[in-house]
Amino acid sequence: MILQIVVWLSSILCSAQVFSRPVTCQLQRSRVEKSRGLLHTMGGHFPAECVEQNLQIPFPTSAFQTDMKTQNVGVEKAIYETLKSIDSLFDNESLPKRWSQKELEEFQDIVYLQVEENQCIMSKTQSPEDDFSSREAILKPYFQKLRAVLEEKEFSSCAWEAVRRELQSTLHFILQNNSQLLWSSSL
């Protein structure tokens, strides 16, 4: 009798553990929205002293555009790759001290979680075509330019502000144009 109870409780606990895990392999809209909001609030408005140094780096909208469902996997991979690149940019010791450190850490944690929990996105395939390689060829130079701006300006506060502004626009575009690929759930 006791053995049956132990087996029964174990199966319930195991089921609860399995069903309480988040759905993987699908990026969460709420986390992308939260990341974008934190990017804005952690530094506030673009500083007036940085206006002259503000660089406009053309955002590669074509990396996220799709005209048919067969391209969804490519776009999903592009979004994942974008988050991974953002995570890489912020893996840096020279982040501005004037930014809210609490919000910065929360931003980094959310982006990191999205990247870690969704590595499996890169192994998805879709017939007849997975056009991620052409999307990646567009995204890579964009993030290389962002990194170059930081390096050229020696990771100055104004360089970070320009990058922060660009990333806000990037996440905004993803949310506006690809929300159907993002899973709705709470943090």
Output 16-25 pairs: Cβ under 8 A, ≥24 positions apart: 22/117, 22/185, 23/183, 23/185, 24/117, 24/118, 24/120, 25/118, 25/120, 25/121, 25/124
**Positive or negative torsion for Cα 27, 170, 151, 46:** negative
Tens digit of pLDDT at every position of the chain (187 positions)? 675 554 555 556 545 444 444 446 888 889 999 999 999 999 988 898 888 876 778 888 888 877 666 677 888 889 999 999 999 999 988 899 999 999 999 999 999 999 999 999 888 776 556 688 888 999 999 999 999 999 999 999 999 999 999 999 999 998 988 767 676 654 4
Q: Which domains does the chain have, with CATH numbers?
A: 26-181 (1.20.1250.10)
What tokens does 38 get? Answer: 């934190």
C-alpha count within 13 angstroms, C-beta hemisphere, residue 18: 6
Hey, is 183 helix, strand or coil? strand
Amino acid 9 reads L
Q: What pTM was computed for the model?
A: 0.80
